[in-house]
Each structure stands twice: as structure tokens, then as C-alpha cells.
Amino acid sequence: MMEKISKVSSIVTPLDRPNIDTDQIVPKQFLKLVQRTGFGAFLFHDWRFDQNNQKKEFVLNDPKYSGSHILVSGDNFGCGSSREHAAWAIKDFGFDVVIAPSFADIFYNNCFKNGILPISLPKDIVSDLMKTVSTVSVDLASQTISYDSKSMKFDIDESRKKTLLEGLDDIAITLQHEATITAFEKSHA
Amino acid sequence: MNITEKILARASGKSTISPDDIIFANVDKAMIHDVSGPGVIKVFEKLQKQGISTDKLWDSSKVWVAEDHFVPSAEKISAENIVKLSKFTKQYGIEKHFKYGMGQYGICHTLSHEEALVLPGEVYVGGDSHTNTTGALGAFACGLGHTDVAYVLLNGKIWFKVPETLYFKLNGKLPDHMMAKDLILKIIGDIGTEGAAYYAMQFGGTGISEMSVESRLTLCNMTTEAGAKNGIIEPDQKVFDYLAERGAAKYTPVYGDIDAEYAKVYEYEASELEPTIAKPFSPENITVVRDIAGVELDKSYIGSCTGAKYEDLEAAAKILKGRQVKIRTEVLPATISIYKRAMENGLIKIFLDAGVTVGPPTCGACCGAHMGVLAKDEICISTTNRNFPGRMGHVESQTYLASPLVAAASAVTGKITDPRDL
């Protein structure tokens, strides 16, 4: 079972860069490791650390964002490699929601397999979200984001919504329903 | 329907499909390697804990395994991953496991065509983003994450949203000083790294018909850098001959209908194109080579699924013959079969005489794994596919992406150089 996601409320961590690729999310030296936990330590490694020292100026090292579960970023988040380690690291670091104007396809899919809600919103809203210092509330059931007395809807595929709400494992559900799928395919062939 | 739609329609048992339809497609071939393989094994272990059987694969004859990213084993963790892969292929009876040190092996995407593992009309998925490469043979080929690949290995199918297609037409034959790499960099520069997000990128026109199969593979390979779901080219006699030489099994090629629809058509005139280079730190950050000629370099790297196929080595050798390199230069043939041909035809001697280090097939420094990664402030010209910060080593190193001709010419002068100006 995956961890369920229904409501997430926290301040946001703004990472105002477009095209953040999987090489930045988890650098190559960690790809040899396959445990799914502990990858948070490697998240944005080369941006966070210089040798072994934290780079103070990098947003993830700023203590004021330490309780944040929502990452907000620029266009085309997660482009590059198909490495699922990128999703593992984001989840393990403590992010349950990633908001960006757009996502790279393989990364977007990998999110749902790992209990992360990726939300794509228009650019101006994403920019506004990056500026807010208040708590942002994401409610998956009603597909709503609210902060600073603003409220807006976001889109998500129904089946994927269900996966996250119920903490169901995508692959497990489909395997369990294989008989139904096969029957459906036969009847529609 | 266009070729992508027709392949997906056939694979999902439907007579007609349209972009944005969600379909459940039967997969013909699937691939894992030494990074995605251990990830898939992990997913299997998780499923077992949930009481889901992973006793057998959907069809182990349709699955193949490559060792490429961290081989020959870079250190002990990668050595252990290779052992894990060997246990996995033994357990599931996967015969097509290309092991280093045991004959043919190399970069997964290059093996897919060198060994005729993927055929026209097929649906092929792999645990690597550059799986798009093999669409150049007329297949639907795309990359998946570990969990999705695990699902395919158990079930032989996966759902897709049918992508819309962007059609790129090349009019006329590329001149001798240009390669497919120049064209795909130009295209990525024009549409951006997100320009084809969830689109199919199809290539056609007289310039594509004139191109070798390997050049077409270079085009489809870098569709990933524009965010494409897949890259594809309708197969022709060149593809059939290429596959026949490699002992391909029977297949049925698929072509688009005359009234096939495309979301957008882009046209390029071969005669108007110039050798092109992507500056740090994005494949879309392109310029004409001559515009930045003279930039001092520390290194030239000729390797990867993008830039170490046989004709890539041949192009580099044409420049390096009888010359000496001024900066550290590496050539890493993408597979053993290519390495052997390069040796038989004298290319390896040309490289060694020029002072180049010739390495074994591996993804190597392309993904910053090993075999010549970059130090802080080092500047490299490379025939690879990505130049994000830290991609090839230190986060403050720099990589310029270029064709093998440009990378070799630049190795000779130690500066960014258009091959015509050598």
C-alpha cells in the first residue's frame, strides 16, 4: 500500500527554475542504489551540497521551509531520464505535492506510482504561488487549492485521483483486475 | 491515421483510434538495463510482499537485458547490480542478456538496432528515456519508469494516451559536413525542450529518405530532449536491408494513411542548415558552430547511443586521420559489434594514432557515471544528448553538444571548430 493523499496543508517551497531535469533531482552517482527509502538525502544533491557542506543560499537548505510538503517549480519539471529515483527522492524528502505549469511525461507517471500528487496549473498562478508565504491547502477530493483567501480548481484524471486518495498501488490494482480487463477487452474486440 | 496511431491501433486491437484516446496496448518487446533492472526487481519484491505473484514473466523471449550505464562495473555497488541482473535473467529464463565480457554487449538503444531486437510495426518499451531511438525503424518505441516496466514484464501490456504527431520534413540531402545530429539540435532549438511534450515526432521528406538508418536513429534518439512520447520514421528499403543484414525475424511494416493527420508540420531545407551546437546547459540552447568557433575546450567525448554508432566513428575518423588531438579525447564505440567493425576497417588505429583513448562500450561519462567524467570548470564537447548542469560530472563543468564531425574537428584544434574550417 502507498501512503494515502487527500489533504495537504503547508507552506510551499519555491524552486523558480524551468526545465528541472532528473539529473538535478537525483544526480547519477546515486542511481546505483535501489532502496526506495533514504533517497531524500540525495534530492537536488548538487544544488544543496558543496563537497559535504550545505549551500546556504539554496532554498531547500533554508530552515523556514523545513515543514513544507509542497514543491512549486517552473515549466517541464522532471524532464530528462526515466529514473524513478527522482520520484522516490521527492517523496522521501517530504514532498507530497509538486506544482508546476507542466511536467515531463515519464516523471508525471512515476509520481502516481509513488504517492506524489503532481498538479499542473497556469503559469501566472504558479508564479503567484511561489510568492506566497502563507499556508497553502491542497484538497484532492474536491480538486481545490486555496491560500490567501484565494481558491482554484485543478485537473486530474479520475482513476489517478482514486489511486492517490485510497493509497492504492497502481500496479497492484491493475493486476488484481486483470480478469475484468481481459473480459472487457474480449467484449470490445 | 498516421504511423504512430496505426501501430497503437493494431496493438490495442482497434480498427481506428484518435489522439487523446486511452488505449491498452499489447507490447511486443521490453528492455531493462543495469539501472532500471534493479529498480524493477525492487518493484517485484514489493509486489511479492503484497501477495501478488511474480513467478513468471508474460514472455521471457520478448524481454532483453542490457548492461550499459555502470559497466564494466564502476565500483562495488554497480558490480552487485550486475550480479542481481544475472540472477534475474536466470530465474526468469531470459536468454537475451548482453553481458560485458561475454561477446556482444553495449548501450541498450544501440543493441536494439544492431541486434535487430525491435522490428517495424512493433510496440517496444524500455526502462530508459532514450528508448525513443528505435522508432527510427518504424516501431512505436518509448521509455517508462521502473513500476510501469515491471507491470509490462508481468502482463505484456500497458496503457497509453495516443499522442498527437508533429511532422518534421527535411527537403534535400544534408551536405557532407553535416550530420543528423545538426538537424535534431536545430529542431530542438526551434521547438524547445518542452516543444514536443507528449507528442510523437515523426520525420520524413526527401532528406530523410537520403539518410542512412543510423542517421535516422540519431534523430529519433534526441526526440526525448524535446519531451516527445516517441520518435518515428516510416520504414523503407534501407531499413529492411539493415535488418536483413542482422538476421531479423519476420515482421509487418506499418505506414500512415494518405490522409493521415498531423498536429503541425515543420519544414527544413537541407541547403539552408549549418553545423549546429548546443551550449551549456540545455539541448535547446543552440547556435551555429561558426558563431562560437574558437571557444577553448578541455576535452572531446565521442560516445553514447546518440554519437557512437558506426557512422559516428567513421565521421570522427575521417577528420582525425593523419592528425593529432590537442585536448583529451575519448572514443567509446556503442557496442562490441561496432567496435569490431571499427577495428577491422582501421578506424581504431586512426584514433590511436591521433592520440585518442579508445574505451569499452558503456554509457560512461554521458550520464556522468565513469570513464572520463568532468572536473569543476572543465569544458567538454560531446556527441552525447544532454548538457544539463552536472550531467557529465561536476555541476560546474560545461558540455557542448555537437555532431561527431564537429567534436573531432574541435579535438584537433582544442577549440570549437566547424569541420569546414579545419
Q: What is the pLDDT of residues B47-60, one digit of tens each?
A: 999 888 999 999 99
Task: Give residue for cell 542512412.
Answer: B212
What per-residue confidence (pLDDT) applies to B365? 97
Is a pLDDT exceeding 80 seen at residue A48?
yes
Q: Can you tell me the distance from the alpha carbon of B16 to that of B25, in angstroms, rounded to the nearest whole number?
A: 13
Q: In the numeric block, which cell numbers belong to residue A46?
A: 548538487
Q: Which positions in chain A touch B198 (Cβ < 8 Å)?
A: 105
Residue A1, in any domain of the structure: no
CB contact under 8 A, A181 and B391: no
Structural domain for A11, as ranges: 7-188
Look up the CATH superfamily of B276-421.
Answer: Aconitase, domain 3 (3.30.499.10)
Question: pLDDT digits over B291-321, tens only?
Answer: 999 999 999 999 999 999 999 999 999 999 9
Q: How many CB pairs under 8 A join A and B?
A: 127
CB of A49 less than 8 A from some CB of B: no
The CATH number for A103's domain is 3.20.19.10
Q: In the numeric block, which cell numbers belong to residue B109?
A: 538503444
Closest to A83 in 3D by CA, of A43, A20, A118, A31: A31
Question: pLDDT digits over B234-252, tens only?
Answer: 999 999 999 999 999 999 9
Common-topology check for domains B3-249+261-267 and B276-421: yes
Residue A89, in any domain of the structure: yes
What per-residue confidence (pLDDT) applies to A179? 61
CA distance A181 to chain B (A): 9
CA distance A122 to chain B (A): 15
Q: What is the share, in percent, of chain A residues with pLDDT greater than 70? A: 88
Quick one: pLDDT band at residue A172, thresholds 50, 70, 90?
low
Residue A157, in any domain of the structure: yes
Asked if A120 and B215 touch (Cβ cutoff 8 Å), the reply is: no
CA distance A161 to chain B (A): 16
Is a pLDDT exceeding 60 seen at residue A178?
yes
CB contact under 8 A, B145 and A174: no
Question: pLDDT digits over B135-175, tens only?
Answer: 999 999 999 999 999 999 999 999 999 999 999 999 999 99
**ipTM for the complex?**
0.87
Question: pLDDT digits over B362-396, tens only?
Answer: 999 999 999 999 999 999 999 999 999 999 999 99
Domain boundaries, chain B: 3-249+261-267, 276-421
CB contact under 8 A, B389 and A24: yes
Q: Give the CATH class of B3-249+261-267.
A: alpha beta
Nearest to A79 among B69, B151, B227 (CB): B227
Task: Give residue for cell 500512415.
Answer: B256
Is a pLDDT exceeding 80 seen at residue B182?
yes
Residue A2, in any domain of the structure: no
Residue A106's SS3 state is helix
CB contact under 8 A, B42 and A81: no
Q: How wide is the angle at C-alpha A64 spanned by C-alphas A138 and A103, nearest 5°?
A: 45
**Average pLDDT of chain B?**
97
Residue A141, in any domain of the structure: yes
Question: pLDDT digits over B313-356, tens only?
Answer: 999 999 999 999 999 999 999 999 999 999 999 999 999 999 99
